[in-house]
Amino acid sequence: MNTEIRKIGICHAVSRLTKPIADSTHDISEIAFYVVELETKGGVKGQGYLLSFHYSPNAIGGALKDCRNFFLSRGYQVYETVRARREWDMEAEYFGNTGVNTCAIAAFNIAMWDAWCRTAGQPVWKMLGANICRIPVYGSGGWISYTDRELLDEVLDYKKRGFTAVKIKVGHPDGIERDIERLKLCREHLGSSVKIMMDANQGLDVVDALKLAEMAKAIGLQWFEEPVKRTDYAAYQLLREKCGITLAMGEREYDKESLKNLIARNAIDLWQPDIVRLGGVEEWRNSAALADAYHIPVLPHYYKDYDVPLLCTVPGAYGAESFDWIDGIIDNTMRIEDGFAYPREGAGWGFVFKEEYLDPVE
């Protein structure tokens, strides 16, 4: 079968669950995505998507269009994922091959893997070699913009659906005392059977992060995500040494440099790769391999529909983050039962976006 890419479409989509939300550093008005669809000369299609919210639509759309034109001019086979990334990095280097240009190639990379594995008639996780076939999963959200009632409704719904862990946003504008109130409220209603984590989205200074970590010990927190600015490696080292709290970091990274720095300082417990920001499947797996070399488990950011299959292929799989944002606009939602997510059995990534939710980007 001819696997050369002959056609590429770019679409925009909005989640059916879209509503304004906020964490400690961002107000988010729309839950939206860009979807790349490749088609080979053999007629096989593959999709990849990136989470865009409402930010920089012209920049993201422009980068995706540039990448589309680049791909069509090169005549790539869908299995040439490494070559395509290397050559795109050379093309994009003059204006930066991290940031939006990396996100663009990631969407194409993910779509190439989808098309290649569909050509072979196998799921991505089986093509790469499976280690396990289910992954612990936690319910994410707990937005700072929620009322107490909205917060409880969300976490209790996760518990009702079989989730055994939830994550709550901290860094409230009313101070860390308000964060503690919200965490205690969740603990009181969830009981001891559900693990609770907290995520500051880099919104705290070192003093407040230290104080919050100490105050939260009595509540029984599983881990603390991005307490301070991601490049303040000394602060992560200090927090880990002073509080003994498990630290998670990595979702904002476009390469492995922060992971290397945190490893050198013994300042990280859980690595959180973002498949789109890192640039696709290979770089996600490369970062997981580096983390595993230092016995640091992998706990990826956001993209469960890609992360769960990939976690099944690496030795250091700790768990996956779950949002329901694309579930209403795809044809095959992921199976989640009793706190575990299961990779799909269908070829490629095992799902596609429903056409009625896709608006073409010209």
CATH of the domain at 33: 3.30.390.10
- Specify the 3-state DSSP secondary structure of 82: helix
In this predicted structure, what is the pLDDT of residue 73? 92
284 in the same domain as 327? yes
Radius of gyration of the chain (CA): 20
Low-confidence ranges of the chain (pLDDT < 70): none
CATH number at residue 250: 3.20.20.120
Bridge partners of 197, per DSSP, are: 167
Q: Please tell me the number of Cα atoms within 13 Å of 22 on its side-chain side.
A: 12
User: What's the Cα-to-Cα distance from 314 to each of 117, 249, 286, 309, rounded to whole Å?
Assistant: 18, 19, 10, 10
- Specify the 3-state DSSP secondary structure of 57: helix
List, for residues 140-178, the tens digit of each pLDDT value: 999 999 999 999 999 999 999 999 999 999 999 999 999
213 in the same domain as 137? yes
* Separation of CA 54 from chain center: 17
298 in the same domain as 185? yes
133 in the same domain as 113? no
The end-to-end CA distance of the chain, in Å, is: 29
Which residues are CB-contacts of 343 (< 8 A; sequence separation ≥ 6)? 123, 125, 133, 135, 308, 309, 312, 334, 350
Q: Which of 321, 248, 266, 309 is nearest to 284 (CA)?
A: 309
Domain, as residue range, for 52: 5-121+355-360
In this predicted structure, what is the pLDDT of residue 97? 82
Residue 200 lies in a domain: yes
Question: How far is Cα 354 from Cα 322, in angstroms, rounded to an integer?
Answer: 20
In this predicted structure, what is the pLDDT of residue 253? 96
Other Cβ atoms closer than 10 A to 184: 15
Question: Taking the model in full, what pTM does it have?
Answer: 0.96
Residue 62 lies in a domain: yes
- pLDDT > 90: percent of the chain: 93
In this predicted structure, what is the pLDDT of residue 114? 98
CB 253, CB 268: distance < 8 Å: no
156 in the same domain as 26? no
